[in-house]
Structure 1
Amino acid sequence: MKLLFSYTGPLIKDKEGNYYSRTITDKMLSRYFKIANEVNIFTRVKEVFDEKELKKFTKINSENFYVTECPNISSLKEIIYNSLKVKGQIEKAVAEADIIIARLPCVTGNIVVKTAKTKQKPYLVEVVGCPRDVYWSHSYKGKFAALPSYLAMKRAVKRAPYTLYVTNEFLQHRYPCKGRVIGCSDVSLPKLDEGILKKRLLRINNQEDKPLIIGTTAAVNVKYKGQEYVIKAMSRLIREGYNIEYHLAGGGENTYLKSIAEKYGVLDKVKFLGSLPHEKVFEYLDNIDIYIQPSKTEGLPRALVEAMSRGCPSLGSNIGGIPELIDENFTFSAGSVDEIYRLLKNTDKNMMLEEACRSFKKAKEFDTKLLENKRLTFYKEFCELSKG
C-alpha cells in the first residue's frame, strides 16, 4: 500500500541527496510503515551542504521512503509563480497514492485534503497546531493571514473521515470534525524509569546556594515562543538579589533575544545552547531546575511533555494545550511579565518537590508504547475503511 504523507516541512537535503530532519525520523516514520510499504512525503526541501550544520539534524535512513519536493506558496509572490506547479504535483501524488495522511496546519496540506476528496481517495488528517494563533502572534502582516488560514483549516478538518489531534481538548474545540476522532500526542519519550524522579528530587533537595536554572526548549528566532518575557521577569528578580540563570535550547538567530537580555542587564545570565540533537535534549533537561513554556501559541508542546518526563517542575502560559498538562496554579497569561515574575518569586523547595512528582506522573500518560498502540489502532481502522 502506498501512503502519501503531507506536512509543512522543510526537510533538509545534503549534496548527495540524503534527507535530514528534526521531526521526521526513522522512528517516527516506522508508525506509517506499519500501515504502508511505501511512504511518499510531500513537503518543502532546504538544501544544506555545511557538514557542521547537518549535524544538528537526524539523517533519514528508512527504505521505501521517497520525497516529492514542492516549492513554497506562503507569500503572494510565491502563490502567483508556484501555485499551478504545486497543484499539478499534488494531483499526481494523490492519484498515485492508495491512502493519504495530511498533517495540518499546512497550506499545501489543505490542497492535498481537497484533492483527495475530489478524487475520492481515503484520507486522514493530523491536527498539530492552530494557524490562526501562529499567524496572529507572528507579525502585523501575519494578522492578515490569520483568519483565512483558520477558515481554510477548519473546512479541511470538518468533513475529514478520520482526524487525529495531538491535544485532548483544545484543538478539538477549535477545529471540530464530524468523522472519527482521537486525541493522541506525537511526543516520543525514553523509558520513564522511577530513577529519573529520584534523581530530580535529590537535585531539588541539594539546591542550596546554587543558581536556580530555568530552561526553555524552542526556536530562539520565533517571537511567539515568548522567551523575551522570561528574560524581562528574571531581570527583576536578579535586581532583587535572586541567583537565576536562563538556559535556552533551540536553533535560529538569537540576535533579538540577546538584545533584550543586554537591554535588561542580564546577558551574562542567559545561556544560548543552540539546537540540540534529540538524545541530548534529555541531558539538558536533567541539568535545569524549572522548565517554562512561555509561548503565545501552541498545540500540545512536545518540549513541555519531555521536560515533565524528567520530573521538571513546570510553568507555562495558559494557551493551547498547555493547561491540559500543567496545574492551573502554575500557568500565566501569555506575554505577562508580571505573572511570570510572581510565579518564579513564589517558587520554593516544597513547591518544586510537589510539582516534580506531579509532572512525572502526568508524563506517564504519554508513555511511548501506550501512544503507539493507541495511534496504530486508529490508523488500522482508517486502513480498513480504505479497503472498503
Structure 2
Amino acid sequence: MKVVVALEARFERTPDGAIWTLVGFAYSFWKRYLDVFDQVCVVARVKDVSHVPSDWQRVEGEGVSCFPIPYYIGPWQYLIKAWAVQQAAQKSVGHRDAVILRVGGMIASCIQPMLVKTGHPYAVEVVADPYDSFAPGSIKSPVRPFLRWYSPRRLRDQCLEASAAAYVTQDALQKRYPCQNFSIGVSDVELGEETFVSQPRYYQEKTAPFTLIFVGTMAQLYKAPDVLINAVAVCVRDGLDIQLILIGNGQYRGELEAQAQALGIGERAIFLGQLQAGEVVRAQLDRADIFVLPSHQEGLPRAMVEAMARALPCIGSTVGGFPELLPAEYLVPPGDVEALAAKIREVIANPDRMARMSARNLEKAKEYTEEVLQQQRLIFYRYVREQTEAWIEKKNQSI
C-alpha cells in the first residue's frame, strides 16, 4: 500500500528531475514510513532551479517519490496560486492510498475536504499550533488576525474528523486539537547515536564572551530571532559580555542583520546562514555555551532537542511543547524581551547552575532516540494502514 503524506515543506527540483532539501525531510526521514507501507508519496511545494549546493540532500529514493505542488511562500502568494495549488493537491491522492496530513497547513487543507466528502479515511500528524503561529510578531501580514482566528478552527475540525492522530507533543497540542478516534503522542525528532555527546558540560567563570546560539528559520519570525536580538542588546547594554550565533536563512535575514547593527551589536550578532543539518550544525552547538529559542509557536522544537543532546543549557518560551522539554524556570513568555534578557543574565551568572542544566538536558534528550520513537510511530502507521484497508474492502463489497 502507498501512503500519501502532505506537508508544508519547500523543496527544489533540478533539471534532471531530482528533488532536494537542505533542512529536514531528506530520504532518511521518509524511510521510517517504509517499515509499514510499500511506497511513500510526499506532497509538498517544489521550485525549479538550475542547481543546488553540494550539501543539499535528495528527498526521493527507493520507495519514496514526490508529488510537486506549485511553489508559494506566505499567505499572499498562496492566494495568488490558490486554484492551482488546490487542483494539484487533490490529484495527489488515489482511491487506494493511505493518507497522512501533516497539519496545519494549506496543502493539507486543500486535500482534507475532498477526503471527508468521499469518506476516505485519513490520519493527521499535528506538528504545530496555528494559534501561536499567527500570534502578534510571528508574521508580518495584514491577514494575520484573520488567519489566527480561522486556522485553529480549521485544525480542530481536521483532527476531530481524522481516523487517527499523531501529535509531536505528549499533551500540549492534544488539549487544543483533540482527535475523537485513535491518537498517540510521538515526536518526529530524529536523534541517532552520533547526535549525543558522552557526558555533560562543566562550566566555570569565563574571561571570553559567553556564546548564545539560535537555530531556526528566518523565512518568517515564528522562532522570534528579532526578540532574541533585542534581548542580547539589553544584556550588552547592562554590561554582559556575550555574542550571538544565528543559524538559519530566509527573507527576514537582511532585516535582522540591520536590526543588530541599529542596536549596536552588529559585531556580536554573527549570522552564519543556512547550514547543512547534522555534523556541521553540531560543531557550532559544541562551540556555544547556551541555546536560546524564544519562539512564538512550536510543536516540539527539534532544534532544541538536538541542542540538549549536545548537553547545552537551553532557554525557551512557554508555548507548544517547550514545557515538555524544560522546567518552567527556563521558560519565558513569548515576545517578552525584558524577561528573556533577565533569564539570560540569570543563567550566565551561575556556572554551577549551567552545569546542572547541561546534565539534566542530556538525560532528557535520551527520551528522543530514534529507536524509542520509531516503535511508537509503527503503532500509528499500522493503525492507519489497517483503517484504510478496511475502508477499501468495505467499499469493494458494496459495489
TM-score normalised per structure 1: 0.92
| Cα distance in 2 for residues equivalent to 1:334 and 1:90 | 34
Per-residue deviation, 1:210:
2.1
Q: Is it true that 1:107 corresponds to 2:106 in the alignment?
A: yes
Distance 1:212 1:27, change over 3 A: same
Distance 1:269 1:2, change over 3 A: same
Other structure's SS at 1:95 match:
coil
Larger mean Cα displacement after TM superposition, 291-300 or 252-261: 252-261
- The equivalent residue for 2:239 is 241
Unaligned residue ranges in structure 1 (runs of 5+): none
Q: Is it true that 1:41 corresponds to 2:39 in the alignment?
A: no
For CA contacts below 8 A with separation 6 or more, give which structure has more relative contact order: 2
| Cα distance in 1 for residues equivalent to 2:297 and 2:75 | 21
For the 8 Å contact 1:214–1:292, the answer to whether it is kept is yes
For residues 82-141 of structure 1, the C-alpha deviation after alignment (integer angstroms, 9 at most, x for no partner) is 42x444444433234421111111112123222223333332110100123212331232
| Cα distance in 1 for residues equivalent to 2:19 and 2:173 | 30
Distance 1:221 1:106, change over 3 A: closer
- The equivalent residue for 2:286 is 286
Q: Is it true that 1:59 corresponds to 2:61 in the alignment?
A: no
Q: Is it true that 1:149 corresponds to 2:147 in the alignment?
A: no
- The equivalent residue for 1:28 is 29
Distance 1:113 1:269, change over 3 A: same
For the 8 Å contact 2:90–2:110, the answer to whether it is kept is no
Other structure's SS at 2:340 match:
helix
| Cα distance in 2 for residues equivalent to 1:260 and 1:87 | 38
Equivalent of 1:170, from 144, 169, 172?
172
For the 8 Å contact 2:103–2:126, the answer to whether it is kept is yes
Per-residue deviation, 1:71:
2.4
Larger mean Cα displacement after TM superposition, 13-22 or 93-102: 93-102
| Cα distance in 2 for residues equivalent to 1:194 and 1:219 | 23
- The equivalent residue for 1:364 is 366
Other structure's SS at 2:16 match:
coil
Larger mean Cα displacement after TM superposition, 108-117 or 292-301: 108-117
Per-residue deviation, 1:65:
2.5
Other structure's SS at 1:24 match:
coil
- The equivalent residue for 1:208 is 206
Aligned residue pairs: how many?
381
- The equivalent residue for 2:15 is 15
Per-residue deviation, 1:370:
0.2
Distance 1:236 1:146, change over 3 A: closer
Unaligned residue ranges in structure 2 (runs of 5+): 391-399
- The equivalent residue for 2:306 is 306
| 1:39 partner letter | V
Distance 1:259 1:63, change over 3 A: same
| Cα distance in 2 for residues equivalent to 1:353 and 1:189 | 22
Per-residue deviation, 1:9:
2.0
For the 8 Å contact 2:10–2:46, the answer to whether it is kept is yes
Other structure's SS at 1:216 match:
strand
Other structure's SS at 2:8 match:
coil
For the 8 Å contact 2:260–2:266, the answer to whether it is kept is yes
Distance 1:298 1:78, change over 3 A: closer
For residues 249-308 of structure 1, the C-alpha deviation after alignment (integer angstroms, 9 at most, x for no partner) is 112242111122111111101111111111122121111100011111111111111111
Tell me the percent identity. 28
For the 8 Å contact 1:98–1:122, the answer to whether it is kept is no
Other structure's SS at 1:277 match:
coil
| Cα distance in 1 for residues equivalent to 2:213 and 2:77 | 39
Distance 1:345 1:75, change over 3 A: closer
Other structure's SS at 1:267 match:
coil
Distance 1:276 1:328, change over 3 A: same
| 2:46 partner letter | V
For the 8 Å contact 2:24–2:277, the answer to whether it is kept is no
For residues 342-378 of structure 1, the C-alpha deviation after alignment (integer angstroms, 9 at most, x for no partner) is 1121221011011001111111111111001111122
Per-residue deviation, 1:32:
1.3
| Cα distance in 2 for residues equivalent to 1:91 and 1:342 | 49
| 2:139 partner letter | H
For residues 303-357 of structure 1, the C-alpha deviation after alignment (integer angstroms, 9 at most, x for no partner) is 1111111111011111111111111111111111111121121221011011001
Within 5 A, what are the aligned runs for 1:344-355? Answer: 344-347=344-347, 348-355=350-357
